[in-house]
Amino acid sequence: MTSKRKIYLLGLLTLFAFPVPTFIYRIIWQSESFYEIMELDLFWNLNTLNGLAFGIIYAQLAVFLLKKPVFKNELNKQQQMIRQLNLNKFDAVFLSLCAGIGEELLFRAGIQLWLGPVITTIVFIAVHGYYHPKNWRMSLYGLLLTPFILVLSFGYDYWSLWFAAAAHFAYDWVLFNESSLENNTR
């Protein structure tokens, strides 16, 4: 199987499989409907646009900070992994959408119900490998992400799933595009 197919399968797995525990719990044990969980009535609103703006701004800040010498080795490793995928603009949008929706349904609409916003933020960053006990630079990047993910967690509670999903999508999309631009200039 080609690496592109694997990446697309992982994206689809994130989008469709990650939310399953949330749906099972909330539909069966909380007697909520799919429509209620998805907050579809809140999709087209100002909070979704605010999420997009917040994600883009925070990603630009992260890109700026990641270019500092302290992050040089870590950034190179991550960018090399992304470059090897040879993503085009559609790939970046697709993968960002899958992560933004699938992960936010799992973490914000699911896990956060049990653990609350702060612990869910810590778990989210740890699962992504950004709190690394043997790599202080990666942990520093995790600390850089912590305020962003905290805002997503509290934003889910106050504004909607779509604020969090839009911010997550925008953040990932900017980082994928940044790596693609780096790829094209080499």
Residue 173 pLDDT > 90? yes
Share of the chain above pLDDT 70, in %: 92
Q: What does the block give as tokens for 9?
A: 């399968």
Residue 184 pLDDT > 70? no
Q: Mean pLDDT, the chain, as a whole number?
A: 91
Residue 185 pLDDT > 50? no
Provide the H-helix boundaries in the chain. Answer: 3-16, 20-23, 34-38, 46-66, 72-85, 89-106, 112-127, 136-158, 161-184
At residue 99, the pLDDT reads 97
Mean pLDDT for the stretch of residues 94-100? 97
For the whole model, what pTM was predicted?
Answer: 0.93
At residue 171, the pLDDT reads 97
| CA count, 13 A, side-chain hemisphere, 113 | 14
Residue 37 pLDDT > 90? yes
| Contact status, residue 66 vs residue 137, Cβ threshold 8 Å | no
Looking at residue 39, the DSSP 8-state letter turns out to be T
Mean pLDDT for the stretch of residues 50-62? 97
Residue 72 pLDDT > 70? yes
Residue 115 pLDDT > 80? yes
CB atoms near residue 167 (< 10 Å): 30
Which residues have C-beta within 8 Å of that of residue 130, sequence separation ≥ 6? 138, 139, 141, 142, 145
CB atoms near residue 132 (< 10 Å): 15
| CA count, 13 A, side-chain hemisphere, 60 | 5
Residue 7 pLDDT > 70? yes
At residue 186, the pLDDT reads 44
Mean pLDDT for the stretch of residues 20-26? 98
Q: Residue with structure tokens 């992260």?
A: 62
Tell how far CA 66 is from the center of its chain: 17
At residue 104, the pLDDT reads 98
Q: Which of 96-105, 106-115, 143-152, 172-181 has the lowest mean pLDDT?
A: 172-181
| CA count, 13 A, side-chain hemisphere, 176 | 21
Confidence of residue 181 (pLDDT cuts 50, 70, 90): low
Report the distance separating Cα 174 and Cα 130, nearest Å.
18
| Contact status, residue 52 vs residue 166, Cβ threshold 8 Å | yes
